Amino acid sequence: MRSAVILLGAPGSGKGTQARLLKACLGVPHLSTGDMLRERIGRVEAGDVAQVVRSGALVSDDVVNRMVDRRLEEPDARDGFVLDGYPRTMAQAEHLAGRLEAAGSAPVVIYLLLDYNVLISRLSGRRHCPCCGALYNVNDAPPSRPGYCDLDGCVLATREDDTEPVIRRRLEAYEKQTRPLVGFFRERGWLCEIDAGDLRPEALFEKVCGAIRDKSSRKQ
């Protein structure tokens, strides 16, 4: 497999933005379990899943592992992928590692580090364009006309789970269930830690690409 990249980091650490940039640069699909779950909630009767996502807790490992397994079987993911928001629990990490190791593949895990208060400010200020998907932040990357997308003029929206109490619950879930994965990936020699504080997305992307190049050359 050419490029298996896993983006690890708290909600708001910039995984989605970096994943989109990597997709364009590496030519591999961007698999966001959050997007996949939101799409599923919008498409089918997924009452239980919708409730869990709205509350800020994590969807069951079984549901998410099956969803990712199916997606990884699709032809466009054979040569590589960028995972954003998965794995998020130890059970998911073990499931994915088993799958990758069986295929003889070692991913690069990019771990984005960011201060807790910056995460809160980023998540509570986050807005997106429901028409084209462009992302803004009212605190540090506002649109030129407040409330409207610069690209197509659509009215900007706030994600349902980007409200203060739900944001705190998501960050708690991250601390308890996801942060332990740092040790799991470090033990396997797959982890690259990057300080994402004070960096614009483009500057962070340079660092991410450098880390991937560096890890990949050491594997050869």
Catalytic residue among 20, 122, 126, 127: 126
5 binds ligand ADP (CB under 6 A): no
What are the CA-CA distances from residue 44 to residues 14, 18, 63, 147, 180 (Å)? 28, 29, 14, 30, 33
Helix (H) / strand (E) element for 79: namely none
> By CB under 6 A, how many residues form the interface with ligand ADP?
17
Residue of the chain from 37, 82, 112, 194 that contacts ligand ADP (CB under 6 A)? 37
Look at strands 135-137 and 126-128 and give their pairing: antiparallel
Q: Please list the helix, strand and coil fractions of the chain in percent, rounded to the nearest 5, in that order.
A: 50, 15, 35
Q: How far is the CB of 214 from ligand ADP (least distance, A)?
A: 25
User: Site for ligand ADP (CB under 6 A): which residue of 88, 95, 122, 127?
Assistant: 88
Catalytic residue at 38? no
Determine phi and psi for 24, rounding to 5 degrees.
-65, -35
Q: Could you tell me which of 108, 81, 103 has the C-alpha nearest to residue 188?
A: 108
- Tell me whether residue 159 is one of the annotated catalytic residues: yes
Asked if 178 interacts with ligand ADP (CB under 6 A), we say no
Coil, strand or helix at 128: strand
Active-site annotation holds for 15 = yes
61 contacts 92 by C-beta, under 8 angstroms: yes
The CB density around residue 73, as the number of other CB atoms within 10 Å, is: 9
Closer to ligand ADP at the Cβ: 11 or 143? 11
The binding track of 113-152 with respect to ligand ADP, each residue x by CB under 6 A or -, is ----------------------------------------
Binding of ligand ADP at residue 33 (CB under 6 A)?
yes
Site pattern 146..165 for ligand ADP (x: CB under 6 A): ---------------x----
- Strand, coil or helix: what is 110? strand
- Told to check if 95 binds ligand ADP by CB under 6 A, we report no
Of residues 64 and 208, the one with the C-beta less far from ligand ADP: 64
Cα separation, 7 vs 84, whole angstroms: 5
Q: 1, 25, 50, 52: which one contacts ligand ADP (CB under 6 A)? A: 52
**Which residue from 51, 59, 115 is spatially nearest to 87, judged by alpha carbons?**
59
Question: Residues with catalytic annotation?
Answer: 15, 88, 126, 159, 170
Q: Which residues bind ligand ADP (CB under 6 A)?
A: 11-12, 33-34, 37, 52-53, 56, 58-59, 64, 85-86, 88, 92, 161, 170
